[in-house]
Structure 1
């Protein structure tokens, strides 16, 4: 079976699928992964900043032994080398390059690779979820609301794992893992790793004891589909109704290295992103982790870090370095039950290119203009 993902059908009798290329581009949400003998695309790669998303989505669709074929126009910013580096970054060990060279079209290059390792996981299903809640025992009222909200999702197969200071409810689908080591420091990284180690299912949703799925959370996850690696979802504060820091971009972060792993942000700012928008160095804040179990086991939380350390910064960078790129499922919502008011009032205007333009209070915009100029000189995530 052949799948043509080009804007205009190029291969006769192939299945055709096309959508606007942006962060929400998600053919694996509608088409079966690891199924297609040939997945073909022409004219899409190297036209937007979303190339890593395209390469992720396309390769997931290819069946074992099948081929991914991409026709593209190289440029100074995305050349023969950049394509091969991106594939190695995202898919190393799972493909073999069969051809990479010119086509009969002037200036056009063709990349052909064969999938040599399946990306499907046995027993993985959108109907199977392990929910983890970390707690120090001080928010039992909120924890009760979270547990009841999970139960009300009507997920066919699920479990709830509470790690920290709580009690064994002796209920079906519930497990309690006592853990109070270094509670004075808030050893949240260890608790999250423990949950991943105990989880039964491949789909993980690990939250702090203030984050509650809304009534349609699972419905939104089913619409997104089971083909994902690391996800953020909409986060809405209960007390104000404001959406929170679930999808933000840091155009510039300058860190000071404190130790081998610990870094301190010296200069940073963030801006809210449109759900269509995406950048590599998005930080997934630690109050929520939605990912595959195998990914958290392969790329665990750094246990030398504690609460109020930049453990989420480090984890996000570790994921990125391992080839796992963050995505936003804007169909699901988590509710923040905390009474603290929070909202980022600066937003980056959506663009399919890497151009940065902000909207927000005048003083902040002036600061961001200065920082944007600095960002053109200093790379993001630079450690000083």
Structure 2
């Protein structure tokens, strides 16, 4: 199938410079890239920052599932090089509008966007947006800082975490920052300590995490609580996923291999106490999506610009509020399924109040549904299960 371009766009297709076409029927001058072939709608790592022109033309954003639009546009931004353009064609719908697109691009952290051209062909919009990425280099470096918060009590967990980093060849040069008491028994792991003046009675967890970010010397920052360890292949997974990210998590599990909620969303109103959802299909992004705060992976420079809210203390949903802050500047949470971590010393009772969310429920799989009946049944079953224990 060939697509005939309107005259104002035909000249763009003839320009020199690499071009990529999101879809399966590209222009002769563009490389074809089908995001739906990849987890989290994530292009291969070697495609990021490579293109002068990104065509979001065959893909009509007005017909894309509303839960995938932000992932598609986020990925389009990451395909652009230092300077480039994105060409959009779409028909507005009840779930997508031209001002939704312009809100995302105009509020987007890390880019400067300008509409180069805009016109309508029948009921469809064609919008050409010039983009300049303000600091592309930060997304091209592989160095890591791992920051851990601890009271120094979970010694076995700490050793497992440090060992899981240093035992991988790529982790030999990683920086490890500890916010907590000095641990002389772990000197062989080459630890550095972060001292921060906090009021322990108020559990100022956000001040601690922000202090780690200020002390970090590497461009990629992994903040963890002291109950995690890296799985083998963690760094290789990021080589595959790519380092063009701002705010993401990785696949997580309990020690018995059972899935641990990592890619989450609130089920109801923003910034209120309500049921959290475990989003099992990472190809979809819900309106109140956030990353479970036990593991948060960010660009160090991005996190310094957009830190945690230090008015929020422990157990006051600092991860939920951070998710909103990043979504407000068009940085949707992402999930790298090629890397994984294990949470230690707890079982499924720890997250029993987080309910599963399946993006594609069917009547034949009631347990995988998203209905009120299903959620209520799940709550009562878990109450019985864990009370029985």
Please tell me the TM-score bracket, short chain as reference: 0.7 to 0.9
5+ residue gaps, structure 1, are 256-263, 371-384
Alignment partner of 1:135 out of 118, 138, 150 = 150
Shift in Å at residue 7 of structure 1? 2.0
5+ residue gaps, structure 2, are 1-16, 378-389
Taking the TM superposition and a 5 Å limit, the aligned residue runs for 1:151-300 are 151-155=166-170, 157-167=173-183, 171=188, 173-179=190-196, 181-238=198-255, 240-253=256-269, 265=273, 267-300=274-307
Deviations 1:167-221, CA, capped at 9 Å, x for gaps: 3655575312244732333322111111100111110111011111111222212
Give the TM-score, by structure 1 length.
Answer: 0.82
Partner of 1:316: 323
Q: Secondary structure at the match of 1:59?
A: helix
1 or 2, which has the higher helix percentage? 2
Assess, with a 3 A threshold, how the Cα gap between structure 1 residues 369 and 102 changes in structure 2: closer, same or farther.
Answer: farther
Q: Secondary structure at the match of 2:72?
A: helix
Taking the TM superposition and a 5 Å limit, the aligned residue runs for 1:38-117 are 38-44=53-59, 45-46=61-62, 47-49=64-66, 50-90=68-108, 94-103=112-121, 106-117=122-133
Q: Secondary structure at the match of 2:224?
A: strand
* Cα distance in 1, alignment partners of residues 43 and 279 from structure 2: 25
Please tell me the root mean square deviation across aligned C-alpha atoms, in Å.
Answer: 3.1
* Cα distance in 2, alignment partners of residues 92 and 102 from structure 1: 29
Assess, with a 3 A threshold, how the Cα gap between structure 1 residues 10 and 145 changes in structure 2: closer, same or farther.
Answer: closer
Taking the TM superposition and a 5 Å limit, the aligned residue runs for 1:118-133 are 118-122=134-138, 124-126=140-142, 128-133=143-148
Shift in Å at residue 129 of structure 1? 0.5
Shift in Å at residue 143 of structure 1? 0.6
